[in-house]
Amino acid sequence: MVNSARTEAGVALALLGALEAGAGDCVSGGQLGRRLKVSRACIWKHVQALRRQGYEIRSECRKGYRLLSAPERITPLAVQKSLVASVIGREVHCFDRLGSTQDVAFRMAQKGAPEGTVVLAEEQSGGRGRLGRSFYSPRGGLWFSVILRPPLEPQLCLPASLMAGVAVSEAIAGITALSPVLKWPNDILLNGRKAAGMLAEIVAETDAVHFLLCGIGINVNIARHAFPAELTDTATSLSAELGREVGRTGLLCAVLERLDYYYQALLRGGAEPVLAAWKRAPNFLGRQVSLVCDGKLVEGVAEDLDGQGALLVRGAEGMRRVVSGEVRLAEGAPTLRDHVGGRV
């Protein structure tokens, strides 16, 4: 758990725990105050804060407080209750509807929000994808941005963005029976269709990163028919693949924990652990691909990643190092849907 019982968030967590333990029965304010070692006024203040997060709590005269229901939407408290991470998720901000979590995280980072801050929205009206595209982000998905402040030179940040893909892929594989496939740099495919995407944005000077925003979008519980027509052939969701819904708070915590793990590894020992994990996961390496890089068409075999996470493509004119672009499996090559599990 990120917060100790002495912090404000610690009191809130302990209060929620005590109300949940009441299993719908009344728990008196005095009893709660004694247990949490705070005043009744403090309990009242935290009850109000829980209500603002969407917890339905009835106060009954002379009896105390009764937890009637928890919100369906994700709350900071629900995340912090189960998250085991050292940096990521230190602060969690949850919103019902935003234009883009990247924009809000950007403003928070500029104002000095600590590394590891998470900004999440139930729904985005202006979700942004890579290469200037828009990103469909309705209710039912996980749309969030994480503020990182890596002490790296800007040109060494590509592995920091690849780790988001690894974290999401491992979290999905760990929680469900699905087999995600990584498409360089940062897409996650399920049965050949895109289920998640990452957007890494850096604010830096020539030799120092001010902050890196790691934006992650996962199509969790979105019905197949709910995707707009232009996405029906290319997008999917976890629930559409599994035929059942997936708990979003649990998945979010799993992603944040994997992200925390790889971020600590990156800071301690450089890019190697992240790159090794990326290469271990099912991915496009070894396949014939095509992509547009610096306005030029590059075709060849996606042979490897270099030490900085760039894609090495061997074509007719030798090896090409690619740092950005939209990779496609080359025309005529078998599609990912022809493969079940394993490296593709």
Residues that bind ligand BTN (CB under 6 A): 100-102, 124, 127-130, 133, 135, 137, 143-145, 187, 197-199, 215-217
- In the complex, the smallest distance separating the C-beta of residue 8 from ligand BTN, rounded to whole angstroms, is 27
Nearest CB to ligand BTN, comparing residues 138 and 215:
215
Measured from the CB atom, the residue of 161 and 239 that comes closer to ligand BTN is: 161
Task: Name the minimum Å distance from CB 132 to ligand BTN.
Answer: 9
Q: How far is the CB of 224 from ligand BTN (least distance, A)?
A: 19
Nearer to ligand BTN, 31 or 324 (CB): 324
Least Cβ distance, residue 121 to ligand BTN (angstroms): 8
Q: Which residues contact 48 (CB under 8 A, 6 or more apart)?
A: none
DSSP letter string, 278-334: HHHSSBSTTSEEEEEETTEEEEEEEEEE-TTSPEEEEETTEEEEESS---EEPTTSP
Element containing residue 269 per DSSP (H, E): helix 248-269
Residue 102 or 239 with smaller CB distance to ligand BTN: 102
Q: Which is nearer to ligand BTN, 33 or 129 (CB)?
A: 129
- CA distance to 134, 280, 293, per residue, from 340 (Å): 30, 16, 30
Q: Which three-class secondary structure state does DSSP give residue 40?
A: helix
DSSP string, 141-181: SEEEEEEE---S-GGG-HHHHHHHHHHHHHHHHHHSS---E
CB of 101 to ligand BTN, least distance (A): 4
Q: Which residue is nearest to ligand BTN (CB)?
A: 197
